[in-house]
Structure formats: structure tokens, C-alpha cells
């Protein structure tokens, strides 16, 4: 006999069912069966154990429909075999497609399509569940008129039949899970297994065709069958259009039984503990009902206490409010975590946001969803290995393999290797061979030890992969799986997986750690299934890769709660709850919840309508689907006993959203004009835990200057809670645009060094922007280098060639060379640099080769100009690439270890050049600043026993020297070098007089031949005269360029016969040196005081300081921020300022 137990949500249907079973269990009846959805089985078993004795509870079997098959199979057999999941199904489906390709019409070209195979699995599952056979589809294909549908149904029937044939004939050890109920139905046809049973079926929203078939047998065999359905009456009108699909189910069940009793007396709302929720359940979506206020005494306070409707501007704000409110309920009302549930229609958007927001409030959550296996480290590793085998040894594929945390390399080694391979843009061929390129790039010093280390890393990675690639050529699927297993074991990946699990557990990621063993088992199952199902079939790498990828995409881990008390998050159509006290129904936007009716199946809504005419009913009509969506929404809204929160967010990156019928109906029922908006809620509402307090303050601190006093007071109270948090000071700095500063001076000194050993270029960086200096040389945060022939590296090559050409021939011999000889000299040193520094042209791009060869033309032009200059100059080059700073200098400060190594390597390589001591300045009680560097060229001129020194710097990009820059700490490099020679070069040069600095333009000239000057060549020479600063001494200037015409140095006579240009007297030169010393001391003092403001320079020649800065994204400097203005001053003004500073310093010292 069939008993239909009807009632609205919360009316006691489940309790009614359970009480029947409890009473009979107490009477020692042991043929008692409760069938519930899988997610509901634990709560049901727990209820029996709590209410009756354990002995009596054992009389009741709690099963799902799938577990019912096992229950029957244990007695009658017929269910032996390996039950398949989607992983096995997709392997067999792809094999089926491949076997019948020539028989297909519509899908003939898509038999290798994984997306198609996945859709076919879903469709075949639906067909089976609705008891639709391949023959029925074939018959329908002959009857329908529409050509496309005819071909589609014909193809689907062939595919479906081939798929079933493989299961029934070739893979008999596998049992398709979708066929289990079909087998059970056939078994029950010939066996009265459930004679004498009382069977209850509870908590289902509806049934599939297979389930109806099982229920038919249960009704015919059991003494009594009780089925609970959430509907008040199957015949009454349903103005809210909620119960149409449930009523259809009830009528179909009724048709299966000769005798049906309808129990519809459960009409009291037992679940709900207040009138608001009772009213919501009774009237939601009903357009004819009264409002809550009119249904009660108008004079009574009808302010809602148990229902809240709110909106948020975005999903993050919505989830933050949910998490904060849940925390308050736990703290203020004593609600336990397990009594709170979050229900959404689709968890795609909500899963990440909700989980993160709850973490911020220290709330554990359980997501009622299947966890995909493809994101697990070992699976990611396998996919990357297969990509390497199939797509080649590309850098992208190999780095993906290395970054799975399971490769043979440590994270630090991976980072170092990544820098190298991206620097050189290595090809697949380069990965297979020993690395030869310089680890420091085109412009760096050679580092054989580092290169050796990189090659050791390569040896750990590449040979095992090459062995695997060889083993998987022209092989069967079974041998392929075996080779992959050997690779995993031989490279110790199984051991590292265990280590990873231990590390995850120690870091607090218990759930993720526990998954690793299960994931390994799943991987072994996948390899085994691919080997067994495809067996001895020859399988190429691409096919195997596609099969493996397809399987992992449909494989999941499930999800089991790891703590007893946690909030449940789930989708409305899947989640099963046991009377939680509080429910948040989120995402109630139009078209989202209730979901818009759509059909993404291979069979469209129109196709299904045509099939229904042929007697093949697959899914409900659009009207019933809409009703089902309302029912799902109704179930969610009525699942709580005490409180319900209803919400939606208004915008995301893709669209704007309006409230759905859920929001609108609830607002109308309870006379709510405007729902609460999260943006209007006071910030302290979100201050529930330490992290949430800080986050709340951080998200609102920018309002301090514009907010009212009350708001400011509240924010400051939050600030007080976290005032010791260093992040608060950072926020204050950003909010008030305060300069960055290291508060602890000891920390600053440890970072920058008690004594400072600096390159001249670092000094320039500091005075360009102190914060840039801090990032680059304090934190050592540097961008990844690319080994390409850019202007900077091209300049390095030019320096090298010019140095060696001039050194090899000397001034007089170089002048004497003809054009061809100079070209040969240039090409010789270009070739030497290419071979020794860059590893030759092998593995270099065509563009690189073209640009490198083009340097020859430029260099020959530059050498010719040098010869022209040498011919009119009495200054003679005497040193090239002269190092400033000795090995002893490099030991000055251990905190600059990176710099120390850099200096030592430079000095070791250039040791034959006998460097002069570093330029040294004392400060702060005998602390020292030492400046090191390298001078491109040192020129010397002797007259009357006196030596004059000039330093030359080759500039491939040109350079304008302004004396006024020195006042702001800029462009001091060459002057420091000049003074370093004067101070430390006596053994090398004797007593010297600093005579000047010259920035020599080392690039090819481009001068229009339509120039109005008499001699275009003279115009060309004059354009390349460079810039600099020179001693105001006519004899010295005459020695630099005969007749001082201004062709090679930027100094010449004007029409009045006076010398013009950047000139300085020896007396002023001494004062300039003192000014530079003071500038260096100021820098050192500022660094020791932790002064590192983001205060970039700006002005003529400095208007792009921030544009090319690697740290502009983190400094907070905007276009309208205050910057240090570099004011251009004439030399006379500059010297006046320097003289005044000199006088003031003298007075202070006097």
C-alpha cells in the first residue's frame, strides 16, 4: 500500500516518517527501510540513535537509492564488479566514439572532442535515468521530420548503443553507475525481496524514471510504502506556483499503486519558532495574500526581528556582511556553527568569496560540493609532464612542471632557474643541451660557479623526462601508463608528495594534507583504467594526454567535514539541511536565484518537445522547470527555524543585477520599502576579530578626512584596538602621504651598513628617489632581466670594443690605420666579445644577430671620430676600464654582501689593471663612505713636469652635463672619479691636477646633408662634441683640442675672444669637491636615520623619473604628488651657492 505523506515545508513530514519507523523498531520489526538522499543519511541515522536504543536503531536500514542496490546485491547478487564514475565513463565514451566514427553524420568530425564526450556522458546518464534506450532514439529519428534533429537522434542512438555495447561485452568487469537501478529493477521483477517490509522514502524533491520503476516494485512487494512530499495537497490550486512539479510527482506515484492513502493532515508549521517565518512560509510568492502587518494587529509592533533583507554593491560586501553577522550570532546569541547555513543557487561565484570572508572572521566552513581533483599538485604535475611530452620541452611547459612543489628542485632553485631561462628566452632545443650562456646576462660578469649550479639543476630535470619521452614513443596505453608510474617512482615524486602532506599539515592545512594520499590513489586508478581499457591499443602521446586530461576534468574528491562544528555552505538544489536555526539565502538576483530557465544539453528545449510527441519524455516543460525553481527557492527560504537573511548583490565585472522575485515578494509581504544596504552600515559592525578589525579600518581609513565626527570617532576606536600593528603605521603613511621611514635606526644601519660602500651610480639612484634606492639596494627587489640587445647592453659592447681597440693600437698607431684596418679591428673585438661573453650566435634570435652585426657600422664610425679627436689632442689615453676600489675596500661592510661579491668579481677579473683605492669620506665619528666604480677612459697630459688628468665616459645615448645638478646630488659620478684619481692615484700618475670630465657620445652621427653650414662634416663633428666640465686653463684646453674650436670638447672662443662652455677654476674645483663630500655625508646620514621617502626628482631632463621606475606601483606617488623640483641654474649662480656654502662651513668650523 502506498501512503503519500503531504505537507508544506516544516510541517513535520520527516518526523512523521521517522516516528513510524521508530515505533516499529521498538516492536522488534527488523524489516524497516528508510530511503533518503545521500546527504541526508547521517542526520537520519543520528536521529534514530538519539531517540531509541542502539539495539532498536539497528532494525532500521537507512539507504540512498544507490546504496539500495548494494543492500539487495548482498543477498541476491547481480551487482558484482567495479562501479564506474565519470572518469571511466569518459574513457569508454571516447573509445566508443572512435570505433563508430564512419557511421556518424553530425558528430563525425568531433569524435576526439573532450567537451562533446563530457556532454554525451551527461545526456546518456539522463537517458538511462529516464529509461530511454538506444532503440527508442533510433525509432524517434525515423519519425521526426526536421532533418537536423533526425541526424542528431540517429547519431546519438549509434553512440549510445556503442557505449552500452562496450560496457556489456568488452568491459564486463565495470558497472555503469547509471545502470545500477535498471539492474535492480530487473532483479526485483523476479524476486519478492521486500515482502513484509515497511519502507519510507523521505526528503526527495522528485524522482527519475529509474527511481519510479524501483518504487513501483517496492509498492508491489512491501507491506507499506510511505513517501513524503512537500506539497499541501495534490489537487488544490497553487496560486504561488510552487508545488506544480511536486504534484506531478505525487500523481505519478499514485498511478503506480492500486491503493493509495493520502495523509495530508500535517498542516501546522512545526519547524518555525516565530510568526514571521510561519508567515513567510505560508505566503511567499502568493500574489493574493495579505501583508504581515495587515494580518496582525496594526497597533502591534511588527518590526521584523527574524527576517532581514539586504543588498550589497558587490559580492564581496555581501559575503562580508554574512560572515560578520554569523560571527555576531555566535557571540551574542550563542548560536552554534552547525546551526547556521548559507544557501546559494550557484556556488561558482560564491565559493571563493564566502570561504575567504569566513576565514577573516575565524569561522570554519564546510562546502557541500565536490572538490575537483585537477587542481591537486600531483595531478598538475602529471598534466605538465604530458604537455612536455606532447608539446615539447618549452620553457612554459617545464616551468609548470617545476612549480607543482613536487619537482626535484626546491622553490629557491626553481626561482633561480626561471630567472636564467627567461633571461635568455631558452628554446626547447636549449633545454636538451648543457647551458652555456652567462647567468648574469649580456652585460654581467661571467659566473662559472652559478652556471655549473644551473646545469646541475637541469640534470635533475631533463634526463628523466627524455627517458620518459623515449619510453612513450610508439607504445600501447598500458605501456604508457607503466612508463608514467616508473617516472613518478624513479624521480621520488611519491616521496615528495608525502613530504608535502606533512608540510601542509604542519602549516595548518589539515584537509589539504589529508587529501594527498587519496589523490595518489586516484592517480593510480586513472593510470590503471587508461591502461586496462585501452590495453594493447597503440596510443600516441597526444591521444593519451587528451584522455588523461578528460578523465581528471570529471574526477573529484568529494567533500567530508573535518570538524564537528562548522557552518555549511551549499547550493539550493543539492544541500540537505536538518533544521538549522539560521539560514542566509544569498544571491537572490533576477535570473540568478531563481535561476533563469535554460537548456545547455545536446538536446535543446525544442528537441525535447519534439521527442515528447514521440513518447520520449526527458525533462519537465518550461512551465514545470520554472515551478521547480520556485520550489527550490521556497525550500531554501523555509529551511531555518529561527532566522532567515535574504540578500543579493547589485554589480560585478560583467553586469548589473536587479532583485529577484524572492526579494520582491518578501518585501511586499512584510511591507518593506527599501532593503538594508551594506554600504550604509557602520564600519564597527564588521570589527569582530582582530583581522576583521584591521581590515575594517583599512577599508575605511581613507574616509577619515571627509567623514563626520561620529564616524571618525568610531574609526579611531577601531584603530586603538590594532594600534600596535605595524600595518596601521603603513596605512597612516599612505593616508596622510607621510614619507616612508625606517623607525628603528639600528634596523636601518643593519640594512644599509654601518659603513657605506657604494657605487657612484647608487648615489645617483638615491638622489633620484630615496625610496627607489631602498627597494633596489635595501630590499634588493629587482625586475627579472632579459638578455636582449637593448641600448643599455649595446652600450656595454661598445665600451668593451672601444677600450680594447684603443688599448691594442694606442693613440698614434690607431690614427695611422686606414679605414679597412679599423673595420677589421672593430670586428675582431666584436667577435671576441660575442664568443667569450655571449656564447656565440648559437641559440640567438635572428633579430639579435642583425642588431649585433649592425653595431660594427656604428663602432667604426665612432673609432674614426676618436682618431680625428686624437689627431688634434695632446691628451693621451693611459687607462681603460680603470677600477676604483680595492679588494680590501670591498670588505668594509658585511651587510652589503651582494655588493661585496659584485666588487670582488670585478676586481678579480680586472686584477691586472691595479685598481686605485676607493674614494673615501669620513662621517659620524669615524664611519666611512667608500665609493667604487669604473672609469671608461683616463687621459693624461704632461707639461712642465705637471700631470693633468681627464676622465672620459662613453655614452651610447648621449648626455647633457649641468653643473647645477650637483647641488641636488645628481651627475656626481664622473667628478667623484676625477677626485678619486687625485686622492688615490699618486702611485700610478704622480701628483695630478684634475682637468675635467668628458661625456663622449659613442653613437653613430646622423646629420642632414642639406645643412646650411659650409662643411657638413664639420657640422657632424661639432654635433658629437659631447658634454662635461673643464678646468679653466687655456693651455690645458688647447691640449684637449688644438685651437679650441669646440669640435671635440664643448668649449670654444666666442666672438669676443673669450672662452665659453662649462668651465671651472681650480679653486672652485676644490670647493666643488667639498660640496660633493657633504652631499655623500647627507645621504649616509639619511640612510642611517631610515629616511627613505618616495620623493622623486622632476624637471628638465628628469620629467620621466617615475615612468621608468620599477617600483612605481608600490610607492604611492601619483602624477599630482609633490616631487623634488630640479631647477636649472647657470654656472655662475651654482658657483656662488657653492662658495657661500664653503664660507658658512668655514665659519662653523672656526
Q: How far is residue 882 from each of residues 229, 616, 956, 986, 1121, measured CA to CA in Å?
A: 92, 91, 19, 14, 41
Q: How many CB atoms lie within 10 A of CB 439?
A: 22
**Confidence category of residue 296, pLDDT binned at 50, 70, 90:** low
All residues at 6 or more sequence positions from 973 whose CB lies less than 8 Å from its CB, including other chains = 760, 761, 763, 764, 933, 953
**Confidence category of residue 1020, pLDDT binned at 50, 70, 90:** very low
Question: What is the per-residue pLDDT for 653?
Answer: 82
Question: What is the per-residue pLDDT for 1064?
Answer: 95
Identical fold, 2-80+181-270 and 377-553: no
Average model confidence (pLDDT) across the chain:
85
Average pLDDT of the segment spanning 820-838: 88
Record the cell numbers describing residue 1091, joined without a space.
629616511
**Nearest-angstrom CA–CA distance, 984 and 922:** 15
Pairing assessment for the beta strands 1027-1031 and 1063-1064 based on DSSP bridges: parallel
H or E segment and range at residue 32: strand 32-35
Percentage of residues of the chain with pLDDT beyond 70: 88
Taking a C-beta distance cutoff of 8 angstroms, is the pair 360, 691 a contact? yes
Residue 794 has pLDDT above 80, yes or no: no
**Nearest-angstrom CA–CA distance, 878 and 937:** 8
Distance from the Cα of residue 1105 to its chain's centroid: 30
Burial of 73 (0-12, 13-18, 19+ CB in 10 A): middle
* Spans of all domains in the chain: 2-80+181-270, 82-172, 304-368+565-681, 377-553, 692-733, 756-1125
Residue 522 has pLDDT above 80, yes or no: yes
**Nearest-angstrom CA–CA distance, 15 and 1139:** 99
Distance from the Cα of residue 872 to its chain's centroid: 62
Average pLDDT of the segment spanning 337-365: 88
**Nearest-angstrom CA–CA distance, 317 and 314:** 6
Burial of 991 (0-12, 13-18, 19+ CB in 10 A): exposed
Question: What is the per-residue pLDDT for 1021?
Answer: 40
**Nearest-angstrom CA–CA distance, 101 and 1082:** 80
Angle at 756 between CA 765 and CA 916, to 5 degrees: 90
Among 100-114, 280-294, 965-979, name the one with the lowest average pLDDT. 280-294
Half-sphere exposure of 645 (CA within 13 A, CB side): 29
Record the cell numbers describing residue 738, joined without a space.
607621510
Question: What is the per-residue pLDDT for 1105?
Answer: 87
Residue 167 has pLDDT above 50, yes or no: yes
Q: Is 1060 helix (H, G, I), strand (E, B) or coil?
A: strand
Angle between helices 622-637 and 661-669 (to 10 degrees): 50
Question: What is the per-residue pLDDT for 840?
Answer: 79
Burial of 29 (0-12, 13-18, 19+ CB in 10 A): middle
Residue 892 has pLDDT above 50, yes or no: no
Question: What is the per-residue pLDDT for 8?
Answer: 93
Q: How many CB atoms lie within 10 A of CB 58?
A: 13
Residue 792 has pLDDT above 70, yes or no: no
Place of cell 539522463: 126
Angle at 113 between CA 112 and CA 118, to 5 degrees: 120
What are the residue ranges of helices labelled H in 723-780?
726-735, 745-752, 760-768, 770-773
* DSSP-derived secondary structure letter, 775: I
Q: How far is residue 57 from each of residues 62, 788, 1104, measured CA to CA in Å?
A: 10, 76, 80
* DSSP-derived secondary structure letter, 296: S
Question: What is the per-residue pLDDT for 158?
Answer: 95
Question: What is the per-residue pLDDT for 971?
Answer: 92
Report pTM: 0.72
Record the cell numbers describing residue 629, joined without a space.
525553481
CATH 1.20.1280.290 fits 304-368+565-681, yes or no: no
Question: What is the per-residue pLDDT for 902?
Answer: 47
Average pLDDT of the segment spanning 797-812: 88
Residue 906 has pLDDT above 50, yes or no: no
Question: What is the per-residue pLDDT for 803?
Answer: 87
Record the cell numbers describing residue 1131, joined without a space.
654656472
Average pLDDT of the segment spanning 959-987: 93
Pairing assessment for the beta strands 1124-1125 and 1097-1098 based on DSSP bridges: parallel
**Nearest-angstrom CA–CA distance, 1088 and 306:** 61
**Confidence category of residue 929, pLDDT binned at 50, 70, 90:** very high
For the segment 590-622, what is each residue's pLDDT rounded down to a tens digit?
999 999 877 678 888 888 888 988 888 886 666
Q: How far is residue 1045 from each of residues 940, 1017, 1064, 1108, measured CA to CA in Å?
A: 20, 14, 18, 37
Give the residue with greater pLDDT, 253 vs 362. Answer: 253
Q: How many CB atoms lie within 10 A of CB 177?
A: 17
Q: Could you write out the three-class secondary structure of 614-683?
A: CCCCCCCCHHHHHHHHHHHHHHHHCCCCCEEEEEEECECCCCECCECHHHHHHHHHCCCCCCEEHHHCCH
**Confidence category of residue 780, pLDDT binned at 50, 70, 90:** confident
Record the cell numbers describing residue 59, joined without a space.
532494525
Give the residue with greater pLDDT, 570 vs 684. Answer: 570
Average pLDDT of the segment spanning 704-728: 64
Record the cell numbers describing residue 646, joined without a space.
535574504
Record the cell numbers describing residue 498, joined without a space.
608525502
Give the residue with greater pLDDT, 1144 vs 991. Answer: 991
Q: Could you write out the three-class secondary structure of 197-253?
A: CEEEECCCCCCCHHHHHHHHHHHHHCCEEEEEEEECCCCCCCCCCCCHHHHHHHHHH
**Confidence category of residue 796, pLDDT binned at 50, 70, 90:** confident
Question: What is the per-residue pLDDT for 712?
Answer: 63
Give the residue with greater pLDDT, 363 vs 1065. Answer: 1065
Average pLDDT of the segment spanning 333-357: 89
**Confidence category of residue 88, pLDDT binned at 50, 70, 90:** confident
Taking a C-beta distance cutoff of 8 angstroms, is the pair 569, 628 a contact? no
Angle between helices 209-221 and 114-129 (to 10 degrees): 30
Query: What is the CATH class of 377-553?
Result: mainly alpha
Which of 1021, 1002, 1003 lies closest to 1011, judged by CA? 1021
- For the segment(s) 2-80+181-270, the CATH number from 2.60.120.10, 3.40.50.720, 3.40.640.10, 3.40.50.300 is 3.40.50.300
Question: What is the per-residue pLDDT for 795?
Answer: 67
Q: Facing residues of 694 across strands?
A: none
Record the cell numbers describing residue 303, joined without a space.
518590526
**Confidence category of residue 106, pLDDT binned at 50, 70, 90:** very high
Residue 1014 has pLDDT above 50, yes or no: no
Q: How many CB atoms lie within 10 A of CB 556?
A: 17
Taking a C-beta distance cutoff of 8 angstroms, is the pair 876, 906 a contact? no
Burial of 609 (0-12, 13-18, 19+ CB in 10 A): exposed
Residue 721 has pLDDT above 80, yes or no: no
Question: What is the per-residue pLDDT for 684?
Answer: 80
Question: What is the per-residue pLDDT for 466?
Answer: 94
Residue 366 has pLDDT above 90, yes or no: no
Cis peptide upstream of residue 594 (ω within 30 degrees of 0): yes
* DSSP-derived secondary structure letter, 928: E
Amino acid at each position: 500500500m502506498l501512503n503519500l505523506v503531504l505537507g508544506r515545508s516544516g510541517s513535520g513530514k520527516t518526523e512523521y516518517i521517522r516516528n513510524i519507523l521508530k515505533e516499529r523498531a521498538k516492536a522488534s520489526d527488523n524489516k524497516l527501510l528508510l530511503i533518503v538522499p545521500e546527504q541526508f543519511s547521517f542526520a537520519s541515522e543520528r536521529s534514530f540513535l538519539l531517540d531509541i536504543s542502539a539495539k532498536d536503531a539497528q532494525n532500521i536500514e537507512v539507504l540512498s537509492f544507490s546504496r539500495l542496490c548494494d543492500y539487495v546485491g548482498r543477498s541476491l547478487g547481480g551487482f558484482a564488479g567495479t562501479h564506474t564514475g565519470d572518469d571511466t565513463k569518459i574513457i569508454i565514451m571516447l573509445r566508443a566514439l572512435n570505433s563508430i566514427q564512419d557511421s556518424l553524420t553530425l558528430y563525425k568530425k568531433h569524435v576526439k572532442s573532450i567537451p562533446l564526450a563530457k556532454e554525451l556522458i551527461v545526456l546518456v546518464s539522463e537517458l538511462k535515468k529516464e529509461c530511454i534506450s538506444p532503440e527508442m532514439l533510433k525509432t524517434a529519428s525515423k519519425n521526426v521530420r526536421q532533418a537536423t534533429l533526425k541526424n542528431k537522434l540517429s547519431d546519438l542512438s549509434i553512440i549510445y548503443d556503442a557505449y552500452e555495447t562496450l560496457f556489456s561485452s568488452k568491459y564486463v568487469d565495470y558497472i555503469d553507475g547509471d545502470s545500477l537501478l535498471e539492474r535492480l529493477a530487473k532483479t526485483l521483477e523476479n524476486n519478492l525481496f521486500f515482502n513484509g517490509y515497511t519502507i519510507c522514502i523521505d526528503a526527495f524533491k522528485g524522482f527519475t524514471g529509474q527511481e519510479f520503476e524501483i518504487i513501483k516494485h517496492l509498492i508491489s512487494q512491501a507491506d507499506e510504502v510511505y513517501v513524503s512530499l512537500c506539497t499541501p495537497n495534490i489537487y488544490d490550486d497553487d496560486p504561488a506556483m510552487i508545488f506544480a512539479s511536486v504534484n506531478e510527482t505525487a500523481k505519478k506515484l499514485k498511478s503506480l499503486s492500486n491503493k493509495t492513502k493520502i495523509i495530508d493532515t500535517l498542516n501546522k508549521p512545526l519547524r518555525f519558532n516565530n510568526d514571521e517565518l510561519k508567515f513567510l512560509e505560508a505566503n511567499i510568492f502568493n500574489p493574493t495574500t495579505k501583508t504581515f502587518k495587515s494580518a496582525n494587529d496594526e497597533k502591534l509592533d511588527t518590526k521584523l526581528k527574524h527576517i532581514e533583507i539586504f543588498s550589497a554593491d558587490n559580492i564581496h560586501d555581501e559575503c562580508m556582511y554574512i560572515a560578520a553577522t554569523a560571527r555576531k550570532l555566535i557571540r551574542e546569541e550563542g548560536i552554534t556553527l552547525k546551526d547556521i547555513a548559507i544557501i546559494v543557487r550557484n556556488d561558482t561565484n560564491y565559493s571563493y568569496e564566502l570561504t575567504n570572508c569566513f576565514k577573516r572572521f575565524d569561522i570554519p566552513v564546510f562546502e557541500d560540493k565536490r572538490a575537483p581533483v585537477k587542481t591537486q599538485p600531483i595531478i598538475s604535475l602529471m598534466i605538465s609532464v604530458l604537455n612536455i611530452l606532447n608539446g615539447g620541452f618549452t620553457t612554459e611547459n617545464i616551468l609548470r612542471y617545476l612549480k607543482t612543489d613536487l619537482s626535484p628542485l626546491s622553490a629557491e632553485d626553481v626561482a633561480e632557474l626561471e630567472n636564467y631561462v627567461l633571461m635568455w628566452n631558452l628554446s626547447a632545443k636549449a633545454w636538451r643541451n648543457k647551458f652555456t650562456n652567462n647567468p648574469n646576462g649580456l652585460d654581467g660578469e661571467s659566473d662559472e660557479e652559478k652556471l655549473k649550479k644551473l646545469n646541475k639543476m637541469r640534470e635533475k630535470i631533463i634526463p628523466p623526462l627524455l627517458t620518459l619521452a623515449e619510453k612513450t614513443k610508439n607504445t600501447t596505453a598500458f605501456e604508457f601508463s607503466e612508463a608514467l608510474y616508473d617516472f613518478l617512482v624513479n624521480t621520488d615524486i611519491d616521496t615528495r608528495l608525502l613530504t608535502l602532506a606533512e608540510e601542509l599539515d604542519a602549516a595548518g592545512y589539515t584537509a589539504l594534507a589529508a587529501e594527498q594520499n587519496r589523490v595518489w590513489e586516484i592517480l593510480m586508478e586513472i593510470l590503471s583504467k587508461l591502461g586496462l581499457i585501452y590495453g594493447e591499443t597503440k596510443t600516441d602521446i597526444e591521444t593519451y594526454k587528451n584522455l588523461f586530461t578528460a578523465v581528471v576534468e570529471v574526477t573529484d574528491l568529494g567533500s567530508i567535514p573535518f570538524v564537528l562544528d562548522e557552518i555549511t555552505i551549499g547550493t539550493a538544489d543539492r544541500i540537505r539541511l536538518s533544521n538549522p536555526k539560521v539560514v542566509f539565502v544569498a544571491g537572490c538576483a533576477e535570473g540568478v536565484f531563481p535561476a533563469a530557465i535554460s537548456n545547455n544539453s545536446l538536446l535543446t528545449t525544442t528537441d525535447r518537445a519534439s521527442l515528447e510527441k514521440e513518447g520520449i519524455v526527458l525533462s519537465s516543460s518550461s512551465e514545470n522547470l520554472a515551478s521547480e525553481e520556485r520550489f527550490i527557492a521556497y525550500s531554501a527560504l523555509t529551511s531555518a527555524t529561527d532566522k532567515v537573511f535574504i540578500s543579493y548583490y547589485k554589480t560585478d565585472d560583467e553586469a548589473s543585477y536587479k532583485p529577484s522575485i524572492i526579494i520582491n515578494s518578501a518585501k511586499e509581504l512584510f511591507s518593506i520599502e527599501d532593503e538594508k544596504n551594506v554600504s550604509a552600515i557602520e564600519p564597527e559592525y564588521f570589527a569582530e576579530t582582530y583581522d576583521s578589525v584591521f581590515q575594517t579600518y583599512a577599508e575605511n581609513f581613507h574616509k577619515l578626512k571627509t567623514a563626520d565626527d561620529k564616524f571618525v570617532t568610531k574609526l579611531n576606536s577601531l584603530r586603538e584596538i590594532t594600534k600596535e600593528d605595524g600595518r596601521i603605521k603603513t596605512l597612516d603613511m599612505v593616508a596622510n602621504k607621510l614619507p616612508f621611514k625606517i623607525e628603528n635606526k639600528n634596523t636601518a644601519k643593519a640594512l644599509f651598513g654601518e659603513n657605506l660602500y657604494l657605487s657612484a651610480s647608487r648615489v645617483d639612484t638615491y638622489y633620484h628617489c630615496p625610496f627607489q634606492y631602498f627597494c633596489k639596494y635595501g630590499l634588493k627587489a629587482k625586475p627579472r632581466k632579459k638578455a636582449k640587445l637593448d641600448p643599455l647592453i649595446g652600450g656595454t659592447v661598445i665600451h668593451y670594443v672601444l677600450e680594447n681597440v684603443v688599448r691594442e693600437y694606442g693613440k698614434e698607431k690607431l690614427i695611422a690605420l686606414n679605414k679597412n684596418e679599423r673595420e677589421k679591428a672593430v670586428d675582431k673585438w666584436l667577435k671576441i666579445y660575442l664568443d667569450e661573453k655571449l656564447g656565440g650566435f648559437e641559440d640567438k634570435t635572428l633579430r639579435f644577430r642583425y642588431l649585433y652585426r649592425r653595431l660594427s657600422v656604428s663602432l667604426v664610425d665612432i673609432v674614426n671620430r676618436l682618431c680625428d679627436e686624437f689627431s688634434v689632442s695632446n691628451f693621451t689615453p693611459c687607462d681603460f676600464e680603470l677600477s676604483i676600489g680595492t679588494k680590501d675596500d670591498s670588505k668594509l661592510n658585511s651587510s652589503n654582501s651582494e655588493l661585496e661579491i659584485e666588487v670582488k668579481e670585478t676586481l678579480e677579473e680586472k686584477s691586472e689593471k691595479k685598481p686605485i683605492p676607493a674614494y673615501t669620506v669620513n662621517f659620524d665619528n669615524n664611519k666611512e663612505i667608500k665609493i667604487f666604480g669604473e672609469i671608461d677612459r683616463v687621459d693624461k697630459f704632461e707639461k712642465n713636469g705637471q700631470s693633468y688628468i681627464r676622465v672620459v665616459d662613453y655614452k651610447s645615448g648621449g648626455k647633457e652635463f649641468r653643473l647645477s645638478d650637483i647641488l641636488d646630488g645628481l651627475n656626481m659620478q664622473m667628478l667623484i672619479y676625477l677626485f678619486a684619481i687625485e686622492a688615490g692615484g699618486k702611485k700610478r700618475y704622480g701628483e695630478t691636477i684634475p682637468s675635467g670630465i668628458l661625456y663622449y657620445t659613442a653613437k653613430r652621427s646622423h646629420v642632414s646633408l642639406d645643412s646650411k653650414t659650409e662643411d657638413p662634416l664639420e657640422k657632424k663633428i661639432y654635433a658629437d662634441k659631447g658634454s662635461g666640465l673643464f678646468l679653466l686653463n687655456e693651455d690645458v684646453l688647447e691640449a684637449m683640442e688644438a685651437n679650441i674650436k669646440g669640435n671635440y670638447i664643448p668649449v670654444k672662443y666666442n666672438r669676443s675672444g673669450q672662452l665659453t662652455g662649462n668651465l671651472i677654476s681650480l679653486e672652485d674645483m676644490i670647493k666643488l669637491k667639498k660640496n660633493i663630500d657633504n652631499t655623500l655625508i647627507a645621504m649616509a646620514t639619511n640612510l642611517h636615520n631610515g629616511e627613505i621617502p618616495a620623493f622623486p626628482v622632476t624637471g628638465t631632463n628628469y620629467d620621466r623619473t617615475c615612468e621608468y621606475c620599477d617600483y612605481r606601483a608600490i610607492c604611492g606617488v601619483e602624477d599630482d604628488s609633490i616631487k623634488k623640483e630640479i631647477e636649472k641654474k647657470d654656472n655662475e649662480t651654482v658657483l656662488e651657492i657653492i662658495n657661500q656654502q664653503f664660507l658658512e662651513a668655514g665659519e662653523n668650523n672656526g
